[in-house]
Homo-oligomer: A and B are copies of this chain.
């Protein structure tokens, strides 16, 4: 709720300051509506893709790649495609996940709840060997990887302050220009991680 003022928003939108309270009631309500407007289509697309994966396969186990792709592809496409709003929205989501204000996180979490449960269940089908705790943990790791990668402000935007420019990723943008390439890299990295033998059973090459 901080970081941008209503005065800047209304100026950029070329509307009067008071109109926000007339139409939305409060800054918080405006924020909630912005979130819903972007997240709901994202959720719908994810569920539709997952449905296709589930109905396409026999009643047996699901393909892990396909499930992860159903989860990741809409987010990657959103990040790359929608005019320039996708970049901004992805950055916004990254900030929300890290926001110390628990009410803001709760609001976002609520909007993702149904999709989360559906994919967690699908992951159970795709990875039948895992305990539920391990499955949740790995899903969390997967979400974190995708969220950080897609939302890092310095990723796509070379604005001089990215990790790329400032020192961490010295030689440029870690996100590929091509969304399909970004997606397939994410999927291959994450399927390997999701299938890893786990911490307790020993590890090796």
Contacts and interface: CB of A to CB of B under 8 A. Distances in A.
Given A102-B154, A105-B154, 14 more contacts: A2-B3, A97-B152, A100-B153, A102-B159, A105-B153, A105-B163, A106-B160, A112-B167, A113-B168, A113-B170, A143-B148, A187-B199, A192-B192, A192-B195
A184 B198 CA distance: 8
Given A97-B152, A148-B145, A102 B167 contact: no
Contact of A203 (B144, B191, B194): B191
Contact of A106 (B140, B161, B181, B186): B161
**Copies of the polypeptide in the assembly:** 2
A9 to B, nearest CB: 14
A147 interface: yes
A67 interface: no
Contacts of A184: 199-200
Interface in A131-164: 136-138, 140-141, 143-145, 147-149, 151-154, 159-163
B109 A168 contact: yes
A98 interface: yes
Interface residues of A, number: 74
Interface of A: 2-3, 65, 91, 94-95, 97-113, 116-117, 136-138, 140-141, 143-145, 147-149, 151-154, 159-163, 165-171, 174, 176, 181, 184-200, 203, 205
Given A3-B100, A102-B160, A148-B144, A196 B188 contact: yes
